[in-house]
A and B are shown apart, each in its own frame.
Chain A
Amino acid sequence: MTQFGTWQPKIRGRLFYNWPCGTCEEALRFISPVQLGSKPYDVAIVGAGVVGCALAYRLSMYDLRVLLVERLHDVGEGTSKANSALIHTGYDAKPGTLESELLREAAAYWPDLAARLKIPLDPIGGIMMAVTDEQERQLEVAKKNAYANRATDVSILSAAEVREREPNASSDVCGGLLVPRESMIDPFMASIAYAEVALVNGIDLLLGVDIAGVELGQALHHLITADGHRLPACRIVNAAGLGSRRLADGYGGGAFDINPRRGQFVLFDQSARSLVRHILLPVPTVNTKGVLVSPTIFGNLLVGPTAEDLPLDDPEAAHTTLEGIRRVIEGGSCLVSGLTEQPVVATYAGARCACNQGSYVIRYNDGAPGLVTLTGVRSTGLTASISLARHLIDGMQKELGLELSPDIEALDTRPESAWPGWWRRPFANDTVDARVDHGCVVCFCEVISEGEIRDALDSPLKPRTMDALKRRTRSMMGRCQGFDCQVPLAEIMSSHTGITISQLTKNGPGSELVAPSQRAFTA
């Protein structure tokens, strides 16, 4: 039997939080670049979203010195955390584009990749549902498009066939396109698993470090942090997502405009899960793919997203609005009846990094030799992350003279025990026998035990914020949204790490769970 939390590999990389004294263990604190060694990095990746993490994971298979720098305080905490949690087959991409090619390649990788990295994935398949005659005519177009993308396993369904597969489908349904292999995934675990393996394989990870600029040199560049530290690297990959424009300005990167597109989602309780059997997709319009209804791998039902174009640097890009939530539920109700009677657990919003110059914009030697700009990775980024990383490495070999020699020690898997989560549900008696704290439930809604929390805190990519812990364990994600468990979890985190309760944060310094006493307020 595999034990929870028994994965204690030799971690060859270094993980540091750029946090003030006392907010995490001293050994995890980033104080000066000396901690990273004096040798310059072969590749520095700015942005630890799902794409940055996937690139780090792929690069960690080679004998290279790689640095992954993130402004936020966990991996995948920006755009990557708020999406529709799906792995696409790419049937609806524009044929012939890089996006379509990458999606097709990734769709083939995913089942094996998910099994190796222990990322929960369930290929339940999707149905694109037409609810008007006009939409029904478009199904044929969508099918042709899918064939052009070599997704030849799609098939058109009649209204009766859709209803047979989806008894709760809206009464307006007049046809559908069955898309096998569309899968639901744990969206958080993708970034975490990539980064964890990369860290074990020896990449260095800096969290909470904002890159203020780039100092260009002949063969060696330096990333300048907001605190004035200089981090030397021969090659720099700008994978900063919504921040990629600002970073590109720092090294004179070419012209592109980012246009954040907000997507709001509504998450329904587990009782709603039985409403659907597939991922239900609307027929897309010119502007948007529309509001989809999808079960989640955790047994909830997810409806969304909206698509709202926002100005760059809108501080409210990840805020929900009542109007948006209403539109999501309205959109979902077009596909499924009975949605409005279901209890809502949470609402959230994320901003996708849409680029006016097209999707998946990649520029090598952008502004200066050795710099790579990657932007316009939209909602398909989670799916394409793995093939995009492969594509980038190929490109860097060709364009940047990156030389690769395999690292023979590198791991390419995470063991079963790596994830102290619901992976091995239901609880078995022997797990509880082995460690009593695996029988002490702290998160009642999702049934997460104290032992799992402690295991997560000890995992290679050590979470030190409540949000990071939440994404690893699912605690506080259930229907009570932390009503019962937030305080006990903070107590466990505090006792396990030595951080005092008043220093614990939701997502990094500034977001303390209790108001700092020093803060002066002007009403």
Chain B
Amino acid sequence: MSNAQHFKVAIIGGGPAGIGVAVGLAKRGVGPVVLIERRTEIGGTPMGYRKKPGGVPTFVEWTRGRVVFGEELAGRLAKRLALTDTAIRLSTQVTKIDPAEKRLTLLGQEGVCDITADAVVLTAGAREQTPAEKGWLAGARTSRVGFTRHLTGWLDGHGLLPARKPVVVGSDLIAYSAAAKMRDAGSDEPVMIDQRRGPSAGLFERFFFRRWTRPDWPGGVTAVEIKGDRYFVGIKSNDGKEWPGDGVIICGELVPNTELALLGGLAVELPSRQLQLARGQALSQPGWFAAGNVLGGFHGAQWCYFNGRRVARTVSHFL
């Protein structure tokens, strides 16, 4: 397509990092900028953690010593975005990238179109590791084996508790907040299963959630199998211990959403799916940058936002 619309900068992903880039670029007077978000609203992952009076404040922002709900935090960031001139494309997915031409193919309600840009910033965030990716979980493929995103979807979206006797796989901040959420909604105290000797959440984080949950911690397991025929009935470790339950939440251990980069031919390390980064969070092709959780690791929304702001500076220097 020759009539591709051209932008100065295209941002892939409308979470905290993407918003940070857009705000940062607007402060530097760079434009026009387009922000592409595949979901129906701006805000990314924190948006799923709905504000509920009296509820467990999950997806917390630690930086200023205050605790807010994810939705609140994302809403605040979205307001900052609304003050800029950034063009926003919601419910639009980037289906293909051409790194050399800096051309993106978009699919949305208006159909398929191509856009080009002088610089592209990948802020696609991350998702939780699947059981197969973890490599120490095997067994049945039953129902009620879900992720934290499912938990927030069922609980905050529909008032449904996915498990009354839950098993939580993982032990980081996300795992503790998931446990707290379920406990608060009336589940039994969850069992927390991880490969580690001790929980990966810090002492302060665990202390924060003690008000709601003190999960059973059977200590490090080396390998576990999911038991059940069509629905989950429990988890069993390779040394014969069993923990019954009626649902599993697989938490944390994020995998960056780098498939666009990988399939588009940008340098990505496998099997970790980590982007290969140069100085200033630049990717392997000139004009391509990344910010936020897509870099790998596990960062809060606030960190992602400021990381986005920082990348905006690099991008404007590049331009």
Contacts and interface: CB of A to CB of B under 8 A. Distances in A.
Given A342-B270, A506-B143, A487 B157 contact: yes
A506 B230 CA distance: 8
Contacts of B83: none
A515 B130 contact: no
Interface residues of B, number: 57
A316 B144 CA distance: 18
Interface stretch (A99-107, A277-285, A388-396, A427-435): A427-435
B107 A441 contact: yes
Interface in B203-234: 223, 225-226, 229-231
B230 A515 contact: no
Interface in B104-146: 107-112, 127-128, 130-133, 135-136, 138-144, 146
A519 interface: yes
Contacts of B138: 319-322, 324-325, 347
A52 interface: no
A348 B270 contact: no
B158 interface: yes
B181 interface: no
Interface in A439-473: 439-441, 444-445, 447
Interface string A481-508: 1111011100100000000011001111
Contacts of A508: 230
A311 interface: no
A270 interface: yes
B93 interface: yes
B133 A344 contact: yes
A512 B143 contact: yes
B8 interface: no
Interface in B246-302: 246-247, 259, 262-263, 268, 270-271, 273
Contacts of B95: 426-427, 447
A341 B269 CA distance: 9
Contact of A515 (B136, B157, B162, B270): B162
Given A343-B271, A481-B130, A506-B230, A521 B244 contact: yes
B144 A514 contact: yes
State the main secondary structure of chain A at its contact with B: loop
State the main secondary structure of chain B at its contact with A: mixed
B87 interface: no
B26 interface: no
A157 B262 CA distance: 33
A343 B262 CA distance: 11
Query: Contact residue range for chain A?
Result: 35 or more
Contact of A501 (B158, B238, B244): B158
Given A321-B138, A480-B130, A513-B143, A439 B164 contact: no
A487 B154 contact: yes
A444 B143 contact: no
Given A444-B93, A515-B165, 10 more contacts: A266-B132, A316-B139, A319-B139, A319-B225, A320-B138, A342-B270, A346-B132, A483-B150, A487-B153, A507-B143
Interface of B: 38, 91, 93, 95, 107-112, 127-128, 130-133, 135-136, 138-144, 146-147, 149-150, 153-154, 157-158, 160-165, 188, 223, 225-226, 229-231, 238, 244, 246-247, 259, 262-263, 268, 270-271, 273
15 contacts: A270-B259, A316-B140, A318-B141, A321-B138, A427-B95, A432-B107, A439-B110, A481-B130, A487-B157, A505-B143, A511-B230, A514-B161, A515-B246, A517-B161, A521-B165
